[in-house]
Structure 1
């Protein structure tokens, strides 16, 4: 049985451009219909079932946005992309907000056009949110109304290439949702690159994001691929985007507009194709008004808005999540699965959880670490809430002190392995020692090291230790 030939509708009043696009798509094995007006396009949609549509915005009988809205409303399984004049980013963003799948700039780049159509034709089909084995139900744990609404919205989100901006309090699960969007999209075979903008020092931000060529600056001993280029073909998640320095905001905006990146020290642009997902617990609108965040980048990122509720507003989801984390932690530590007593359940439901889901996970993790019984009691959970910081140790340390010391080097000697490798080894030893002292509790380890949880997680990933921790 032969596979059905894809059918695409091209809507543009320029005959030469339509012919060029028709020839390009024919080489891909795609059949096309051409409409030179919106009226004709509407008629075609009543007669045929299209796998995709590509429309210009400036038509003789109206605005192409009207067709975008019509297709999004009446033919939701047909992805529609738009043609925009080069540099008309505000119009492109308006089209994405109206429901367009993606956009391509004029003059047409045949490579970009081919990539766009391939993505459109490979979009996931509609799915039933009630399926228990789907990722959105395994990762989005809960039955509260906001979580059910988020599951329903995912069907629309994953069938678009539009930028997604996730807001929510710290620890509410922004990265989980970002990864879920990637897994459910047609980019799930590509990489998912997560970057915490607040964890990378400002002076290293450009080289980390854009990469560099050998010799571009002191210490650049070899070429290095940037994280943006590493996301090619997949999704780029920028967590805590508000922490991105203003000069880097300008450079990021250009990458999003041109879909090209230039490594430091290079005179050539490299094509990149990724979906941008960003997140912040801060109010970006307020930061724009204060001049701390660029308005043009804000509008470019803020196309599809996803708001995550705080854990304290999710009711019984707290107990579902607690049970999930108990099962997860016990499996990881090869322990018999524990349960929550009735009193412990009520205790959890009464908590405010300023750290949200992450705080609940850490609370469960610490409680299990110090509980020898099969049932977690209120006392176990109480002992796991925000352990007080110890006062500064006196000059003369006692034998039981838990201060973490770095391995030393005798004065006047240099490490034989080279400074860079030596420092990396020292950092790795310190991290592993802190984790070992805290029974591999990342939150407590970060506090002992005097750093934030995010900084610890970034360093673990950088040193290749994240798999050991997870």
Structure 2
């Protein structure tokens, strides 16, 4: 019976004791190791052997580990690199992640953490293997989308925290899920959480879990989101909505890689990759004092911007066709067709709700259209065409002021509900309304 070849790991460190420790640990994992004392020896070995992973110290006699990360990124992009840094050198570690390192370890090396890192890195798919799946799920052939797919493919091969910025409805959660699905944690949990939808008094319990009897209503032990996501990815959507008190606790959990449940006496080690997103401007939130700067730096190691739909109008026809096919498959009926004028109207619309708005619009039009053809009127575009920036209303077009204002109120409330996945408490907070006021408006507008 033919055995598969053992995977190879390159160890780069000028300290013999560290090299020996790593060689013994990885040898017990049934891995072949090759050691180098400096950058020059490492380059020579890279030219001779095909490695599956490189572990490198930061400070080397003839250069730095950062130089080696950059060299491997350029010459051998299929080889993940993990940086070993002195304890407390967080800034160095973050710079290494930005340069393309897979992950980092701090000295003294924790052997359990080392084995987890190595196992995770060796599960990475070959470079470029994710491209076909990305093409199927991130639809669009526009320049912004081609660039986004390349970045997702690259970030999936790292453990760096990623801040996904973009407008509501642009597909930030889909991008986060793709980063998870194409990476080494794909077989573990992807746990999404809308930070704006959790009542502030329940946040600590939701994130870190609680012990039975720790507070009124805690009738049994419950794991938190960090524990559920252990080994996988925790996606913090609308992270800017976290209150400051919770931001402090989240920062500590990320730094220490451990959490303590409410009512618990000991901390539990957790291994999660953090991805986060918000439609708000996090820089502005930091400047306004609503978001902690130290947490911002831990979450925003790498920023990935998801383009709004109006920046990729060439993709609208493909996206619309895909939505209509999906609707037809769900109803068991032939797919509706877009009249050319309706397609032109979509391409000229501003789409403040982005892809989510397009999907909702087509679902409504698919239901209401006749003869399986969607006309411009079936789309019910706001003001017919929103390609221009909104200005003052045309008073000659307003027959009844109360109806006009009620229509605006309905649109804003519906938008807030869609952005918060119809969580009324979160939608009320977004509109700066009390829950009682929100409930009254929903009843008045017939949206209850």
Unpaired runs of at least 5, structure 1: 393-443, 460-470
The answer as to whether partners of 1:322 and 1:364 remain within 8 angstroms in 2 is yes
- Aligned to 2:196, the other structure's residue is in SS state coil
Partner residue in 1 for 2:428: none
Mapped partners of 2:23, 2:360: distance in 1: 56
1:62 equivalent to 2:68? Answer: no
| Separation in structure 2 between the aligned mates of residue 10 and residue 249 of structure 1, nearest angstrom | 37
Tell me if the contact between 1:52 and 1:120 (Cα under 8 Å) persists in the aligned partners.
yes
User: Given that residues 26 and 32 in structure 2 are in contact (C-alpha distance below 8 angstroms), is that contact kept between their aligned partners in structure 1?
Assistant: yes
Structure 2 counterparts to residues 276-425 of structure 1, below 5 A: 276-382=274-380
**Distance in structure 1 (CA, Å) of the matches to 2:15 and 2:252:** 28
* Mapped contact 2:152–2:175 kept (Cα < 8 A): no
User: Could you give the per-residue CA deviations for residues 197-239 of structure 1, whole angstroms, max 9, x where no partner exists?
Assistant: 1111222211111111111112111111111111111111111
Q: Matches of residues 75-224 of structure 1 in structure 2 within 5 Å?
A: 75-127=76-128, 134-224=132-222
**Distance in 1 (alpha carbons) for counterparts of 2:340 and 2:11:** 62
Deviations 1:107-143 (A, max 9, x none): 21111100100111111102267x6xx3211211111
For this pair of structures, how many residues does the alignment match? 401
Q: Name the residue aligned to 1:8.
A: 9
Partner of 1:453: 418
* CA distance in structure 1 between the aligned counterparts of 2:254 and 2:94, rounded to whole angstroms: 11
Q: Does 1:47 align with 2:53?
A: no
How many angstroms does 1:264 deviate by? 1.1
In 2, distance between residues paired with 1:258 and 1:44?
35
Partners in 2 of 1:203 and 1:335 — Cα distance? 47
Partner of 2:446: none
Offset of residue 391 of structure 1: 7.5
Per-residue CA distance 1:275-325 (angstroms, 9 max, x = gap) = 111111221122222222222221222222211111011122111111111
- Cα separation, partners in 2 of 1:162 and 1:383, compared to 1, 3 Å: closer
Which deviates more from structure 2 when the two are superposed, residues 301-310 or residues 116-125? Answer: 301-310
Give distance in 1, aligned partners of 2:382 and 2:368. 9
Of 72-81 and 33-42, more deviation after overlay is shown by 33-42
Alpha-carbon distance in structure 1 between the residues aligned to 2:294 and 2:42: 33
Q: CA deviation at 1:62?
A: 3.0
Report the CA distance between 1:374 and its aligned residue.
0.8
Offset at residue 8 of structure 1 (A):
0.8
Quote the residue 2:230 is aligned against.
Answer: 232
What is the distance in 2 between the residues matched to 1:45 and 1:77? 12
CA pair 20-309 structure 1, distance change in 2 beyond 3 A: same
Would the aligned equivalents of 2:168 and 2:419 in 1 still touch at CA under 8 Å? Answer: no
Structure 2 Cα separation of the partners of residues 285 and 190 of structure 1: 32
Offset from partner CA, 1:161-210 (integer Å, 9 cap, x none): 11111111111110111111111112111111111111112222111111
Question: Matches of 2:421 and 2:233 in 1, distance apart?
Answer: 23
Pick closer, same or farther for the CA change 1:355–1:383 going to 2, 3 Å.
Answer: closer
Shift of 1:86: 2.6
Q: Say if 1:89 and 1:257, in contact at 8 Å, map to a contact too.
A: no
Match of 1:32, SS state, is strand
Deviates more, 1:242-251 or 1:191-200: 242-251
CA distance in 1, matches of 2:402, 2:269: 53
For structure 2, the 5+ residue unaligned runs are: 385-400, 404-409, 425-448
What is the CA–CA distance in structure 1 between the aligned matches of 2:348 and 2:26, rounded to whole Å? 59
Q: More deviation in 264-273 or 35-44?
A: 35-44
2:242 corresponds in structure 1 to 244
Alpha carbons of structure 1 residues 355 and 445: separation in structure 2 relative to 1, 3 Å: closer
TM-score (norm 2): 0.84
TM-score, structure 1 normalization: 0.80
Asked whether the 8 Å contact 1:208–1:226 carries over to 2, the reply is yes
Distance, in Å, in 2 between the alignment partners of 1:287 and 1:311 is 24
Deviating 4+ runs (over 3 angstroms): 383-386, 444-448, 454-459
Residue 251 and residue 191 in structure 1: after superposition, are their counterparts in 2 closer, same or farther (change >3 A)? Answer: same
Is residue 20 of structure 1 aligned with residue 21 of structure 2? yes
Q: Distance in 1 between matches of 2:250 and 2:89?
A: 17
SS in 2 for 1:9: strand
Determine helix, strand or coil for the equivalent of 1:224.
coil
Q: Report the Cα offset of residue 154 of structure 1.
A: 2.7
